[in-house]
């Protein structure tokens, strides 16, 4: 038995954890900090941590009612119908559901370059093909309708990321509306707001619902996750908010029990923990401002919980920073050579990252 032809497929490159890096280098894990995967430096919402402990005795049951409760709570948060909320195993899982619901064999998806790798991977799993639009480094990765529409060629899904990973740039609701307007009726514009809580721009849910002066649209879907601002990357919980026209497709494409009992309980507790989210967002704002002010190299303005830094030989810089105990992301895998991405840490972590990157840049010069 052989798998089907997977030569077009690549494996997702998840960042390595502290334990793994320390083991490989024969060092003590306590010597390292990891600012490579845009995780929450304050950990999970404390309310969610309690809920997870309490949930232990419930995991022999399937997550039927908690699933519904969480969907209702998310729907309340956005003032949408619960049927418009597609719960999933992380934002990645929600992307897969959108691919399953929308893509026919040989359809294409249009993705940003540089950009988040899973858009293309998900399309390929679902027998689609991938095309790219360029976000120009010289233009600070500005996301403009022109950049997207020039490359657009009847693609079935167009991905926008706001804030964009790895640059931190955002896209206005007016620009998203223009893109949706000027693409075919059969094209779905997916706005990935995985880092939405950290940004000043409003959520594109307003475009689906027709609020704040916008006309309601049925060709936009939003992606959100509990992995970042809520600190629940390890439980794998995310969702899409979709227009009414897509709502019914969920039941036909989702995996039975799309989110685990533990994820549902953690999510239910976390969604009401505004204090944790506010603290996390404030830490990220301080951290990214500090990086911009103190790193001796170009740092792009970011609205996410990370900052993109121009460093020249990114692999060498990331490797040397790791040797000095600070694990960051080499952006070559995003299709962006010459840059590293540093996740916003606590004040102490951020200061250490800044000192380390400056020292490494000076030493490698």
Interaction site with ligand PMP (CB under 6 A): 90-92, 116, 161, 165, 192, 194, 225, 227, 233, 238
The three-state DSSP-derived secondary structure of 118-158 is: HHHHHHHHCCCEEEEEECCHHHCCCCCHHHHHHHCCCCCEE
Which long-range CB contacts under 8 A does 272-278 form with residues at least 24 apart?
A: 272/47, 272/73, 273/45, 273/46, 273/47, 273/48, 273/230, 276/42, 276/45, 276/46, 276/47, 276/230, 276/231, 277/45, 277/197, 277/229, 277/230
CB of 227 to ligand PMP, least distance (A): 3
CB of 162 to ligand PMP, least distance (A): 9
Residue 306 CA to residue 194 CA, distance in Å, equals: 12
Q: Which is nearer to ligand PMP, 92 or 209 (CB)?
A: 92
Q: Which is nearer to ligand PMP, 158 or 360 (CB)?
A: 158
CB of 192 to ligand PMP, least distance (A): 5
Residue 192 CA to residue 219 CA, distance in Å, equals: 14
Residue 204 CA to residue 241 CA, distance in Å, equals: 10
Q: Which is nearer to ligand PMP, 167 or 360 (CB)?
A: 167
CB of 298 to ligand PMP, least distance (A): 22
Q: Which is nearer to ligand PMP, 341 or 361 (CB)?
A: 341
Q: Which is nearer to ligand PMP, 91 or 345 (CB)?
A: 91
CB of 210 to ligand PMP, least distance (A): 25
> How many CA atoms within 13 Å lie on the side-chain side of 231?
25
CB of 188 to ligand PMP, least distance (A): 16
Query: In 3D, which of 89, 99, 48 has the Cα closest to residue 225?
Result: 89
Q: Which is nearer to ligand PMP, 205 or 360 (CB)?
A: 205
Q: Which is nearer to ligand PMP, 240 or 360 (CB)?
A: 240
The angle formed by the CA atoms of residues 30, 35 and 41, to the nearest 5 degrees, is 80
CB of 126 to ligand PMP, least distance (A): 17
In this structure, the dihedral spanned by the alpha carbons of residues 34, 94, 188 and 304, taken in order and rounded to 10 degrees, is -20
């Amino acid at each position: 038995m052989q798998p089907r032809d997977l030569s077009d497929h690549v494996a997702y490159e998840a960042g390595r954890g502290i334990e793994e890096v320390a083991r490989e280098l024969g060092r003590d894990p306590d010597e390292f900090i990891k600012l490579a995967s845009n995780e929450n430096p304050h950990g999970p919402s404390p309310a969610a941590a309690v809920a997870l402990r309490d949930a232990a005795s419930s995991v022999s049951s399937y997550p039927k009612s908690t699933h519904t409760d969480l969907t209702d709570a998310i729907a309340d948060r956005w003032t949408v119908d619960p049927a418009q909320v597609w719960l999933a195993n992380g934002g990645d899982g929600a992307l897969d559901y959108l691919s399953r619901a929308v893509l026919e064999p040989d359809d294409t998806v249009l993705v940003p370059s540089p950009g988040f790798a899973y858009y293309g991977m998900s399309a390929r799993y679902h027998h689609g093909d991938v095309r790219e639009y360029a976000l120009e480094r010289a233009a600070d990765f500005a996301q403009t309708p022109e950049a997207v529409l020039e490359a657009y060629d009847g693609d079935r899904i167009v991905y926008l990321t706001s804030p964009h990973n790895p640059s931190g740039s955002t896209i206005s609701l007016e620009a998203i509306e223009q893109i949706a307007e000027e693409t075919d009726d059969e094209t779905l514009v997916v706005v990935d707001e995985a880092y939405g809580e950290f940004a000043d721009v409003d959520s594109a849910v307003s475009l689906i619902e027709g609020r704040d002066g916008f006309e309601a649209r049925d060709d936009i879907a939003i992606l959100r996750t509990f992995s970042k601002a809520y600190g629940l990357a390890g439980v794998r919980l995310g969702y899409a908010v979709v227009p009414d026209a897509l709502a019914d497709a969920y039941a036909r494409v989702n995996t039975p029990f799309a989110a685990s009992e533990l994820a549902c309980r953690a999510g239910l507790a976390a969604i009401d923990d505004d204090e944790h989210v506010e603290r996390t967002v404030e830490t990220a704002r301080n951290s990214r401002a500090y990086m911009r002010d103190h790193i001796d190299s170009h740092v792009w303005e970011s609205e996410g919980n990370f900052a993109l830094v121009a460093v020249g030989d990114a692999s060498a810089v990331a490797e040397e920073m790791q040797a000095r105990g600070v694990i960051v992301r080499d952006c070559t895998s995003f299709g962006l050579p010459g840059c590293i991405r540093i996740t916003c840490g606590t004040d102490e972590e951020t200061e250490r990252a800044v000192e380390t990157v400056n020292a490494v840049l000076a030493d490698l010069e």
